[in-house]
Amino acid sequence: MELGISIALILASLLMILLVLMHKGKGGGLSDMFGGGFSSNFGGSSVVERNLDRLTVITGIVWLVCIIALGLLLRP
């Protein structure tokens, strides 16, 4: 059980990093370097940004649930 939650936590963490970097930046930096081509093709589409926001929030919730579950399982 602990192994499965740990793997889910690692995957959620990596996905969260990727999703945050894909968000459209306000001034430039890593988000433009990694997500610049993606956002330039769909720059006017608010649907893509909204779906990216939703996926980021869902991933954050999964990450938080995994942290809480591991904390409860590993409690002495």
Residue 12 lies in a domain: no
> Is 80 exceeded by the pLDDT of residue 73?
yes
What integer pLDDT is reported at residue 64 of this predicted model? Answer: 97
Residue 33 placed within a domain: no
How many structural domains is the chain composed of? 1
Range(s) of the domain holding residue 59: 48-75
65 versus 76: which is more confidently predicted? 65
Q: Is residue 35 part of a domain?
A: no
Q: What is the rounded CA–CA span in Å between residue 12 and residue 29?
A: 23
Distance in angstroms (rounded) separating the CA atoms of residues 44 and 36 = 13
Q: Does the pLDDT of residue 7 top 70, yes or no?
A: yes
| Residue 25 within any structural domain of the chain | no
pLDDT, tens digit, 9 for 90 and up, residues 25-71: 665 555 556 655 555 555 556 888 889 999 999 999 999 999 999 99
70 lies in a domain? yes
Residue 9 counted as domain residue = no
Whether residue 61 is contained in a domain is answered as: yes
* Residue 32 belongs to some domain of the structure: no
Q: What is the pLDDT of residue 40?
A: 53
User: Which pLDDT belongs to residue 76?
Assistant: 83
